[in-house]
Structure 1
Amino acid sequence: MKQFQQKSLLILVLAASIFASCKKDDRSNTEPEQPTAERKGLYVLCEGLFNANNTSLAYYNYDDKQLTTDRFLAVNKRGLGDTGNDIKVYGSKMYIVVNVSSTLEIVNPHTGASLKKIDLKDKGLGRQPRYIVFNKNKAFISNFDGTVAVLDTASMAIEQYIKVGRNPEQMAISNNKLYVANSGGLDYPNYDNSISVINLNTLKETKKITVVENPRALAADQYGDVYVLSVGNYADVKPSMATIDSKTDEVKTELAFSGGSIVISGDLAYIPASGGKLKVFNVKTEKIEKENFITDDTKITTLYGVAVDDLTGEVFITDAKNYTTGGEVFCFDKTGKKKYSLNVGINPNNVVFVNK
């Protein structure tokens, strides 16, 4: 439900010299192993319109280049529900978080068939799930009711709920800890300003880290840092990006930043900026590498989501256009040149990849 979040456009205001003071030159230079799987296709989650019950799931087959605009509906003879907010593939299953319907749909990614639909409700009231992340045999789902649900991925059953801060949004995992952004986004103007830290062995919150008000986006790099993008209060508290050292849980840096999402692949972080641009930030050198990843004349009307295929280096940008009609997904090669685009449903917000 990203239009509900009043997405801010990203503007960097600090010089590269400031970033350079915190270089990670003393850290490991070991490159992660390159994945060897072969892609079968990709899914695009289109959240639809708030309260319109029209979330859709597009599927693009790499072999025959065929696009199915709503594979879930075609296979299951029912829709996903109201306002799909997040989607991930983990192991042999695909997980779709549907915010307003307060459901988690678990799907066979190869067929599109539903394996289980889980209601995330408390005494009949929807918990409003937001995002999902994974660690070993557990999935963690943030819920706007101030909890994180713990799901066993084998039994597909909710085991417990962990109490965190107000209106938690995105999560990230680093050093065997789960970091949860407590936004307080439904409590204007009294936003939350904390990151909950959960021990993944005990599944208990151990502390809260104070950051700038209204934290929403989280991402962890391979060096043990967790990046937090906070929106601020839309008045005297400005947006920022904090960097947390997961070894100490201390905030290392807090920079003037404006943005609602961050995606990290290898050493590169991709951060939406104003004017349909995509900034590229190197998390190792802590410098901006590119003001705009796109190197050709492709124009993005409303940059809504970003995904990176770690296998190919391809970068996918979703364009919500005017938020009310069909959107578009652009595939760029690693140099920032457009390869192709797909016309999909309303408000496409996430792209995930399926292996053969």
Structure 2
Amino acid sequence: MKQFKLHSFFITLASITVLVSCHKDKVAPAPDKPTAQRAGIYILNQGGAGHNNSTLTYYDYTTKSLVADQFTAANSSTLGDVGNDLGIYGSKMYVVVNNSAAIYVTNAKTAKQIKKITLNQPRSIVFNKNYAFITSYDGTVSVIDTATLTITKTIPVGADPEQMAIANGKLYVANSGGLLYPAPPTNTLSVIDLNTLTEIKKITVQVNPIALAADSYDNIYVLSLGDFNTVPAGMTVVNAKTDQIRSKPTVSLGYNVPIYAQGDYVYYPTTTDNITYQIAVYNTKTQTLASANFITDGTVITTPYSVSGDPLTGEIFIGDAKDYSSDGSVVAFDKTGKKEYSITAGIDPGKIVLVNK
């Protein structure tokens, strides 16, 4: 991711009222190794759809202190409804809030707001050569100049675009079509040339593509939710050099489909019953499953909702949404899959980002 996932939207509609969580300040101390270059870690908590309770948790590696909502602390205002994505580019941090139609551009170190950009149901954000690219549910990708913070172009793509990934000079956009119900979801990736900023083709993948990741070998990994139990969920690997389908590895996906690439591996959750989850590890060099479960010490992640990592330390972070209505957590693992520490987060921790000193 995830992202506020489409399945989460339907779960929210069917669930009881989500309660605003009570944040706890107790947190296991982080190890010393991240502090050499990293200042801390941000966690964007989506909150419950329609409840305007998105928050931005910050954990400081040096002081080992936790701020339950750094955005509110810095701005005396709330993020709004469904914080969907988060990214740092240069000295600025961008917070994408879906239902509130907002992109908050802030100081990356303090989360103090610099500018608010209004977009129609923004979803995900990526960066390339002084531009931010943001998908919106109106079927477009908006191009924002990161110097002037203005929208310079709007690129039409497919229905209900979700996540994006960059490889081989191209931007790949997952066109989910997940809001077309009762019509079936769509099954394409839009390919945008980053030189011309135009869509040059669409690639057919498995139905309802949501989450994307790019490896260092110019491959794009696509996780698709399928067609609400009619068509199964699955993974598609696209060769970004040829834009051809490389493979469709067998995977058992659940409702949550975050994906993250680091080094020679891609990490994503799998389940056969939507109750018990594992974190699968796929080797991007050999194109084989490296491990059915990254976690080696028996640590249980109830509801894996986000996956991220630190390339400097090899750590992997997993956001646990637990029951979707109370405080979640982010658990840090070393590169061997052993738990290091846990950070108390807010409702549905959907995005994890490190900030440097």
1:37 shift after superposition: 7.3
Q: CA separation in 2, counterparts of 1:261 and 1:133?
A: 15
Mapped pair 1:182 → 2:179 = no
Query: How far does the alpha carbon of each residue in 1:302-332 deviate from its partner, in whole angstroms, 9 at most, with x for none?
Result: 1111111111111111111110111111111
Indicate conservation of the 8 Å contact 1:46/1:345, yes or no: yes
Aligned residue pairs: how many? 323
1:247 shift after superposition: 1.4
Q: CA separation in 2, counterparts of 1:249 and 1:153?
A: 29
Indicate how the Cα distance of structure 1 residues 4 and 244 shifts in structure 2: closer, same or farther if over 3 A, else same.
closer
Q: CA separation in 2, counterparts of 1:117 and 1:203?
A: 24
Superposed, which structure 2 residues align to 1:242-261 within 5 Å?
242-259=236-253, 260-261=257-258
SS at match of 2:345: strand
SS at match of 1:6: helix
Q: CA separation in 2, counterparts of 1:258 and 1:302?
A: 15
SS at match of 1:241: strand
Indicate conservation of the 8 Å contact 1:36/1:311, yes or no: no
- Percent identity of equivalent pairs: 51
Indicate conservation of the 8 Å contact 2:41/2:353, yes or no: yes
Indicate conservation of the 8 Å contact 1:238/1:256, yes or no: no
Partner residue in 2 for 1:352:
353
Query: How far does the alpha carbon of each residue in 1:69-90 deviate from its partner, in whole angstroms, 9 at most, with x for none?
Result: 0011011000011100010111
Mapped pair 1:141 → 2:134 = yes
Query: How far does the alpha carbon of each residue in 1:152-193 deviate from its partner, in whole angstroms, 9 at most, with x for none?
Result: 001111111100000000111111111101000001242111
Amino acid corresponding to residue 209 of structure 1 in structure 2: I
Q: CA separation in 2, counterparts of 1:77 and 1:103?
A: 17
Mapped pair 1:219 → 2:219 = no
SS at match of 2:151: strand
Query: How far does the alpha carbon of each residue in 1:198-257 deviate from its partner, in whole angstroms, 9 at most, with x for none?
Result: 111111111111112111111111111111112211344222211111111111222343
Partner residue in 2 for 1:58:
57
Q: CA separation in 2, counterparts of 1:81 and 1:91?
A: 25
Partner residue in 2 for 1:280:
281
Q: CA separation in 2, counterparts of 1:3 and 1:146?
A: 17
Mapped pair 1:265 → 2:262 = yes
SS at match of 1:277: strand
Q: CA separation in 2, counterparts of 1:235 and 1:96?
A: 32
SS at match of 2:222: strand
SS at match of 2:72: helix
1:146 shift after superposition: 0.2
Mapped pair 1:198 → 2:192 = yes
> What are the ranges of 5 or more consecutive residues in structure 1 without an aligned counterpart?
8-34, 121-126
Mapped pair 1:79 → 2:73 = no
Partner residue in 1 for 2:19:
none
Partner residue in 2 for 1:39:
38
SS at match of 1:248: coil
Query: How far does the alpha carbon of each residue in 1:48-85 deviate from its partner, in whole angstroms, 9 at most, with x for none?
Result: 11011111001111111000000110110000111000
> What are the ranges of 5 or more consecutive residues in structure 2 without an aligned counterpart?
9-33
Superposed, which structure 2 residues align to 1:275-314 within 5 Å?
275-314=276-315
Query: How far does the alpha carbon of each residue in 1:320-346 deviate from its partner, in whole angstroms, 9 at most, with x for none?
Result: 111011111111111111111111211
Indicate how the Cα distance of structure 1 residues 341 and 36 shifts in structure 2: closer, same or farther if over 3 A, else same.
closer
1:4 shift after superposition: 4.7
Amino acid corresponding to residue 69 of structure 1 in structure 2: A
Amino acid corresponding to residue 352 of structure 2 in structure 1: V
SS at match of 1:318: strand
Partner residue in 1 for 2:154:
161
Q: CA separation in 1, counterparts of 2:5 and 2:41?
A: 26
Of the structure 1 ranges 166-175 and 268-277, higher mean CA displacement relative to structure 2 is found in 268-277
Q: CA separation in 2, counterparts of 1:242 and 1:170?
A: 14
TM-score (norm 1): 0.87
Amino acid corresponding to residue 180 of structure 2 in structure 1: D
